[in-house]
Amino acid sequence: MGVTILAQFPVENKTGPQIIEVLSKRICALGATPQGQFLVDCETFTSVPALGHQRTVHVLHNSEQPATVFALLETGTKTIPLVTDGLFDLLIMKMISFYQSKKHTKTESKGPRFEIGDFSVKLGTVNITSNFKGILVEVEYKPCVVPAMCWDLIMEFMQGFLGSSGPTAPPAFLQNRMQEIYSPIDTIQQYLEHFTIFRKSTGPTMVMRPQQP
Which of 17, 76, 160, 163 touches other proteins (CB under 8 A)? 160
Query: Exposed, middle or buried: residue 145 (CB in 10 Å: 0-12, 13-18, 19+)?
Result: middle
Region 45-104 residues binding other proteins, contact defined as CB under 8 A: 85-87
Write the DSSP assignment of 21-84 as a string of letters. Answer: HHHHHHHHHTT-EEEEEEEEEEEEEEE-GGGSS--EEEEEEETTSTTEEEEEEE-SS-EEEEEE
28, 114 Cβ separation under 8 angstroms: yes
Largest CA distance in the chain: 56
Which of 38, 157, 173, 191 touches other proteins (CB under 8 A)? 157
Tell me how far apart the alpha carbons of residues 76 and 55 are, in angstroms, rounded to a whole number: 7
Q: Least Å distance between CB 180 and other proteins?
A: 10
Contacts of 39 (CB under 8 A, 6+ apart): 61, 62, 63, 108, 109, 110
* Per-position x/- string for 109-148, each x denoting binding to other proteins as judged by CB under 8 A, each - no binding: -------xxxx---------------------xxxxxx-x
Return the number of the residue (106 or 142) whose C-beta is nearest other proteins: 142
Q: Least Å distance between CB 156 and other proteins?
A: 5
Q: In this structure, which amino acid lies at residue 105?
A: T
Q: Least Å distance between CB 149 and other proteins?
A: 4
Return the number of the residue (116 or 208) whose C-beta is nearest other proteins: 116
149 binds other proteins (CB under 8 A): yes
58, 74 Cβ separation under 8 angstroms: yes
* Per-position x/- string for 188-207, each x denoting binding to other proteins as judged by CB under 8 A, each - no binding: --------------------
- The kind and range of the H/E element at 120 are strand 119-128
Q: Least Å distance between CB 15 and other proteins?
A: 30
Q: Least Å distance between CB 30 and other proteins?
A: 8
> Under the rule (CB under 8 A), what is the footprint of other proteins?
1, 30-31, 85-87, 116-119, 141-146, 148-150, 152-153, 156-157, 160, 181
